[in-house]
Amino acid sequence: MAEDSDTESVIVNVNGEDNKSALFGKYELGKLLGMGAFAKVYQAVDVRTGEGVAIKVVNKKRLKEGLTAHVKREISVMRRLRHPQIVRLSEVLATKSKIYFVMELALGGELFSRVSSHRFTENLSRKYFRQLISAVRYCHARGVFHRDLKPENLLLDENRDLKVSDFGLSAMKEQIQSDGMLHTLCGTPAYVAPELLMKNGYDGAKADIWSCGVVLFLLNAGYLPFSDPNIMGLYRKIHKARYKVPDWTSPDLRRLLRRLLYPDPDRRISVDQILQDPWFNEGIDPIDIIRTQTDDHDLEEHANNLNAFDLISSSSSANLSGLFNNFVTPDHCDQFVSDEAPPEILGKVESLAKQLNLRIVKKTERAMKLEGPIGVVNVVVKLHRLTDELVMVEIKNKQREGLVWADALRQKLRRLVNQPVYRVPQ
């Protein structure tokens, strides 16, 4: 990373050899895996554990060209997703000129590189489609819509299991407008659902299901269902759902593809209906079907799952506030780290509640629920133990209204509670 010439660079030398420097004293960068419009992805090694990771390096100068929202969205989405079939974002770090996403390394590469050389058997197609639907169902249950599902964004790990990546174009339920629809046109033309082309708004979940159908078709056929050298010709085929299923496709798969690629979103198959489909369930034990439907992968994170990614707000060198200003997650959630004991922190919360005329609805050893003066809005203050010395303080609005007193609570609590400063060794 010699290109980073910041005088305040936090790229430090681990062992004294100039050609063996490590990023933040943590990660030794390796080969370039890929690059896009504003980022490069490198393979790297965690020098503390020897574990392989992928690091996306974002140039802040490029973000001035209107891509800041893209990065903010990706961080917002990926920090709330923990699922076996989704690439995990473990940490976000920054220098003066760059932002670094430390992510799970998918050694198997893109699914696209494998399907582009030959089509898959139905059994293999079924395996990856099941894993894709599992990830998509998890995202939708948490108000996240990917909007750019395609084989280039589906990676494989060392066990050849699927990992969904690249949430830069994703949307969250908070972006849904008053008509119940999303309105931003995005995605890759060959995978985009027909309702997006109408520009009248669309259901993000239904659009993702269409893209899943295109992916399944491609896995089984070895080619895309909709293709045309002329973009308008392509859109006409998508709008009318004109495609030809290969002769080798089984009757059950034909029926499922027809339901996935149905042009009317209101009549398109849903995720829950996919879970009941005969082709999808072929060869699965009924007990496994029930387990899949109950969604084992809960979003609730326990203290031992929190890592450096959750310490961004307390780290002077990894602080993204200069880039994102007063960035708050779409769940109206604010987080910071303190070295005070939980009873001391909650004592200060209780004191502030009295000052702001808030009612304490419920209190536990590490959490407190506060209700606003009118008795409509509430905020939850929750403490997560990170280490023996550090606690993460999380303040989350449960509704959109009442932000004035909620913001006052945030600001006052941040001033009252001690927050240690983390410095990268020089």
Q: Is the dihedral of CA 348, 351, 355, 359 positive or negative?
A: positive
Q: What is the pLDDT of residue 369?
A: 86
The CB density around residue 67, as the number of other CB atoms within 10 Å, is: 17
In whole angstroms, what is the distance from residue 190 CA to residue 197 CA? 12
Q: What is the pLDDT of residue 316?
A: 32
In whole angstroms, what is the distance from residue 95 CA to residue 7 CA? 10
Phi, psi (degrees; rounded to nearest 5) at 63: -65, -20
Q: What is the pLDDT of residue 405?
A: 75
CATH superfamily for 11-104 is Phosphorylase Kinase; domain 1 (3.30.200.20)
- Which pLDDT band, with edges at 50, 70 and 90, does 64 fall under? low
Per-residue pLDDT for 205 more than 70?
yes
Q: What is the pLDDT of residue 288?
A: 58
Cβ-proximal residues to 48 (8 Å cutoff; 6+ apart), any chain: 26
Q: Please give the model's pTM, rounded to 2 decimal places.
A: 0.67
Among the listed ranges 54-68, 281-295, 391-405, which one has the minimum average pLDDT value?
A: 281-295
Residue extent(s) of CATH 3.30.200.20 domains in the chain:
11-104
The closest alpha carbon to 301, from 28, 61, 81, 34, belongs to 81
Residue extent(s) of CATH 1.10.510.10 domains in the chain:
109-283
Per-residue pLDDT for 296 more than 70?
no
CATH of range 332-416; options 3.30.310.80, 1.10.10.60, 3.90.1150.10, 3.30.565.10: 3.30.310.80
The first and second tokens of residue 376, run together, are: 């409509």
The first and second tokens of residue 234, run together, are: 């392509």
Mean pLDDT computed over every residue of the chain: 78
- Which pLDDT band, with edges at 50, 70 and 90, does 325 fall under? very low
> Which residues belong to the active site?
148
Q: In what order do the strands lie in the sheet with 21-23?
A: 11-13, 21-23, 27-35, 39-46, 52-59, 98-104, 89-94
In whole angstroms, what is the distance from residue 333 CA to residue 375 CA? 20
Per-residue pLDDT for 360 more than 60?
yes
Q: Domain 109-283 has what CATH class?
A: mainly alpha
Cβ-proximal residues to 308 (8 Å cutoff; 6+ apart), any chain: 90, 91, 93, 315, 318
Residue extent(s) of CATH 3.30.310.80 domains in the chain:
332-416
- Rounded to 10 degrees, the C-alpha dihedral 77/79/81/87 comes to 90
Per-residue pLDDT for 214 more than 70?
yes
What is the share, in percent, of the chain residues with pLDDT greater than 90? 32
The answer to whether the CB of 79 falls within 8 A of the CB of 29 is: no
Q: What is the pLDDT of residue 16?
A: 34
Q: What is the pLDDT of residues 139-178, one digit of tens each?
A: 998 889 998 899 989 999 989 999 999 888 887 776 667 6
- 243-273: burial string, b at 16+ Cβ within 10 Å, e else: beeeeebeeebeebbebbbbeebeebbebee
Q: For residue 410, which amino acid is it?
A: R
The closest alpha carbon to 151, from 125, 104, 113, belongs to 113
